[in-house]
Copies of this chain bind each other. A is one copy, B any other.
Amino acid sequence: MTPTITAFARSPDRGRGLARDMRVRWALEEVGRPYDVRLLSFSEMKEPAHRRLHPFGQIPTYEAGDLALFESGAIVFHIAERHAGLLPDDANARARAITWMFAALSTVEPPIVDRSMAMVLERDKAWHAERLPILEDRVRVRLGELSNRLGDAAWLDAAFSAGDLLMVTVLRRLTGSGLLEEYPNLAAYVARGEARPAYQRAFADQWAVFTGQSPTGR
């Protein structure tokens, strides 16, 4: 059964692939599953019809038959659990990959989102100039720790996994900040993720939504 995901009709990232539907698109491409996309305006996201799918009025959602899910992490996990390619077979390696999924979303992403939110929502506040370096230092703490752990490895725990997929998309939210570039091994790690054919197909499809062209035919 072909699942349907939701995405922004007009992504605020202007097609840079930073919205959270990108994670689900990429996961589906990694495992070679087709999917349909339903685009939503900002007002549609907050209407009762969408709230029934997603209580927090966000994208993405995932519908397949009588199953409806929200939360990009949960959707990526659902895909990874059902199709080969995103989680290792070995039980311990699988548990560690899942740990990196949670680490990406619970430990690394929050300070990155805080910085982004301050750039958008608090830019006109008197405190913004003084507070921004504090936020950036909080991001640097996590990037430094992640950089130390990654070292010169290609991926966080041996083979590419859903943990890397989420971590790369989290780190990509720093695009344009200059912070990622302070950690060359992390910048190379993100580039390694972006170079994967599945990533490129997913990126092209979300870019086609932004530019209003029809998605790449597959």
Interface residues of A (CB under 8 A from B): 51, 55-58, 66-67, 69-75, 77-78, 92, 95-96, 98-99, 101-103, 105-107, 109-110, 113-114, 125-127, 130-131, 142, 145-146, 148-149
Contacts and interface: CB of A to CB of B under 8 A. Distances in A.
Q: Please state the number of chain copies in the assembly.
A: 2
B102 A74 contact: yes
B125 A101 contact: no
B71 A106 contact: yes
19 contacts: A51-B145, A51-B148, A55-B145, A55-B146, A56-B107, A56-B142, A56-B145, A58-B107, A69-B95, A71-B106, A71-B107, A73-B102, A74-B102, A78-B95, A78-B98, A106-B109, A114-B114, A127-B127, A127-B131
A125 B75 CA distance: 40
Contacts of A78: 95, 98
Contact of A71 (B74, B75, B103): B103
Nearest to A98: B74
A128 to B, nearest CB: 9
B71 A102 contact: yes
